[in-house]
Amino acid sequence: MGDRAGAGRDWEARRWYSKLAQVPGDPLAGLGRADDRWRRWCQGPRSVPEVVRDRPEPLGAVDWDVVICGGTLGIFVGVALARAGWRVAIVERGALRGREQEWNIARAELRSLLDLNLLEAADLEAAIAREFNPVRVQFSGFEPVWVKNILNLGVSPAKLIASLRQQFLRHGGQLFEQTAVTAVTVHPDGIAIATQPSTGPAIAQGQGATGAYGNEHSQGNGAIANPNPSQVLTSRLAIDAMGHFSPIAQQGRQGRAPDGVCLVVGTCASGFVVNDTADLMVSTTGIADGRQAFWEAFPAGDRDRTTYRFAYCRPTPDAFTLHDLFEDYFQNLSTYQGLEDLDNLIYKRALFGFFPSYRDSPLQPFCDRLLAIGDSSGLQSPLSFGGFGALLRHLPRLVAGLQDALTADCLDRADLAHLLPYQPNLAVTWLFQQAMVVDPSPRDRNGNPDRINQLLGTVFAEMATGGDRVLRPFLQDAVQFGALTETLARITVAHPILTATLLPQLGPIALARWLPHYGALATYSAIAHLTPALRAIAAPLPLSPTQHYHLKQQLANWRYGAGHE
């Protein structure tokens, strides 16, 4: 696979690929590291070090209620809990500082930050770098579908996290920066988190899957650096917010390779014709080189544009690499953006990452007193690489649940599993990811190159007929039973031949795996409608704090699992 990355690149691609080398921060080195890591994942299961251990002896008095390992998304939960009076510490390997590259999200999804009083409205507004509309979904050979107010804000993680950091410190939280979590010991009455001064990245960038976002480099603000050498923090609960490659999550997954992966590359550049629209998912080509690639594009900063090329695959030894995808990106970018050539673009950042997803998600707690949030938890759709958006969607439920769990001392493994529940609305989307993966078999690789475009173009055209009510839940990673069933029915009736060819392509195993999730989605949807009544029935019951916690979580989980919030 590594040789393939170097071979067969045409002159034009190489020329523009070499332009990447001029982006500050040496993105090519980061890209090389990311691809090395990706190749290792493609080799199958790996042995992983044991960082979490159980000890039978009691720990005694602890210093913290919650220690959060990893600060990028961890700070969101950290502020909420510190505000509520819990003793919270965050341990961050770098400096707690968000990346420059914007996160895209919808305004409505930011609402939870204000509802939970994590930020002042003015601070949130100040973090919104760009707002734009409409947003396009289009597949080669099909008409565009335009939507509004989906992923149509660019939010500056640097500003957002700077404001959250202030709030966290103001509410008594303690930040250990440049401090890496090295081991976790679970005792019957507490959890001990061993740390040591970090030689890791100097900034915490929200790097997602790779730890590399091109030109972001150390700005060493030196605030609240941890002056202590190695130390052990003791707590009632530890939260793993160390991202997809968290050593704790790796142990929880026992080194298993992911079931599906989304590879993403792109740049943020100036020099495009000013364009205030965005692309959520656009294809300009069919299946080529064993993949179906898509585009995503967002206005960024004042006049810049972020463009991504992404494709889904399985981690197999012959899977394509980030290098392959970057080559494809530069070869097709000018056609996609309607540019004569790429000479006028000034690249500010190179962006790349790979996003593993596992069928058995979210990752269930595998010991007491330890809970995952953010990318390490796998509580997001296998279709999207919007981990920030996924956390915000669940934040009200998570924060309320964590507080109830701490109050009722419901911190064992089974209790914490309520906070990472099975979500049928995410599980059903596995089939959609599979439908966009090109199988390595010659039949699939050399078959109709437009089959994925035809499928997606048809599905989205039918969804558009159903209007926002049908389209929106799909695009916002909150699939709902009614909208899904309506879409499936429309497609089966209007496009029987497409349906008949799709079923054998997906195969009986994938379908057999999918049907129980679809059934669960129906059940969750039915129960979700009853939750107000169930809540009213339960209100007068003399429940213990533990029973109250369990019931409240179960009611919330039915609603979220049905795609409601």
Ligand X SMILES: Cc1cc2nc3c(=O)[nH]c(=O)nc-3n(C[C@H](O)[C@H](O)[C@H](O)COP(=O)(O)OP(=O)(O)OC[C@H]3O[C@@H](n4cnc5c(N)ncnc54)[C@H](O)[C@@H]3O)c2cc1C
Give, rounded to a whole angstrom, the gap between the first and last alpha carbons of the chain.
43
Distance of CA 162 to CAs 77, 158, 221, 307, 521, Å?
Answer: 15, 6, 12, 26, 39
Q: Tell me the closest approach of the beta carbon of residue 92 to ligand X, in angstroms.
A: 5
Q: Tell me the closest approach of the beta carbon of residue 103 to ligand X, in angstroms.
A: 4
Closer to ligand X at the Cβ: 419 or 520?
419
Q: Where are the alpha helices (DSSP H) in 43-142?
A: 74-83, 107-115, 121-127
For 371, phi then psi, to 5°, come to -130, 140
Closer to ligand X at the Cβ: 92 or 462?
92
Q: Tell me the closest approach of the beta carbon of residue 136 to ligand X, in angstroms.
A: 16
Closer to ligand X at the Cβ: 152 or 453?
152
Query: Exposed, middle or buried: residue 132 (CB in 10 Å: 0-12, 13-18, 19+)?
Result: middle
Q: Tell me the closest approach of the beta carbon of residue 467 to ligand X, in angstroms.
A: 25
Q: Tell me the closest approach of the beta carbon of residue 93 to ligand X, in angstroms.
A: 3
Enumerate binding residues for ligand X (CB under 6 A).
69-74, 91-94, 103-105, 180-181, 204, 206-209, 241-243, 264, 351, 353, 374-376, 385-389
Q: Tell me the closest approach of the beta carbon of residue 306 to ligand X, in angstroms.
A: 8
Q: At 449, is the secondary structure helix, strand, or coil?
A: coil
Closer to ligand X at the Cβ: 94 or 290?
94
AA identity, residue 269: A
Query: Exposed, middle or buried: residue 350 (CB in 10 Å: 0-12, 13-18, 19+)?
Result: buried
Q: At 354, is the secondary structure helix, strand, or coil?
A: strand
Residues near 559 by beta carbon (within 8 Å), at least 6 away in sequence? 528, 531, 565
Distance of CA 335 to CAs 138, 282, 289, 322, 343, Å?
Answer: 15, 13, 18, 20, 13
Residues near 226 by beta carbon (within 8 Å), at least 6 away in sequence? 176, 177, 178, 179, 195, 197
Closer to ligand X at the Cβ: 349 or 490?
349
Closer to ligand X at the Cβ: 376 or 429?
376
Q: At 534, is the secondary structure helix, strand, or coil?
A: helix
Closer to ligand X at the Cβ: 200 or 286?
200
Q: Give the C-alpha separation, 418 to 556, whole Å.
A: 10
Closer to ligand X at the Cβ: 241 or 367?
241
**Residue in the structure block whose two tokens are 């039978």:** 56
Q: Tell me the closest approach of the beta carbon of residue 129 to ligand X, in angstroms.
A: 12
Q: Tell me the closest approach of the beta carbon of residue 276 to ligand X, in angstroms.
A: 17
Closer to ligand X at the Cβ: 16 or 310?
310
Q: At 544, is the secondary structure helix, strand, or coil?
A: coil
Q: Determine the residue with CB nearest ligand X.
A: 387
Q: Tell me the closest approach of the beta carbon of residue 416 to ligand X, in angstroms.
A: 17
SS3 of 230-249: the string is: CEEEEEEEEEECCCCCCHHH
DSSP calls for 403-421? HHHHHHT--SHHHHHTTS-
Which tokens in the block code for residue 313? 């695959």
Q: Tell me the closest approach of the beta carbon of residue 96 to ligand X, in angstroms.
A: 7
Closer to ligand X at the Cβ: 177 or 415?
177
Closer to ligand X at the Cβ: 154 or 424?
154
Is there a contact between 327 and 297 (Cβ–Cβ < 8 Å)?
no
Nearest to 429 by CA among 454, 459, 402, 399: 459
Q: Tell me the closest approach of the beta carbon of residue 139 to ligand X, in angstroms.
A: 21
Nearest to 179 by CA among 56, 285, 96: 96
Q: Where are the alpha helices (DSSP H) in 343-477?
A: 387-408, 413-417, 424-427, 429-435, 442-445, 451-466, 468-475
Q: Tell me the closest approach of the beta carbon of residue 429 to ligand X, in angstroms.
A: 16
What angle (nearest 5°) sits at the alpha carbon of residue 167, between those of residues 161 and 172? 125
Closer to ligand X at the Cβ: 389 or 457?
389
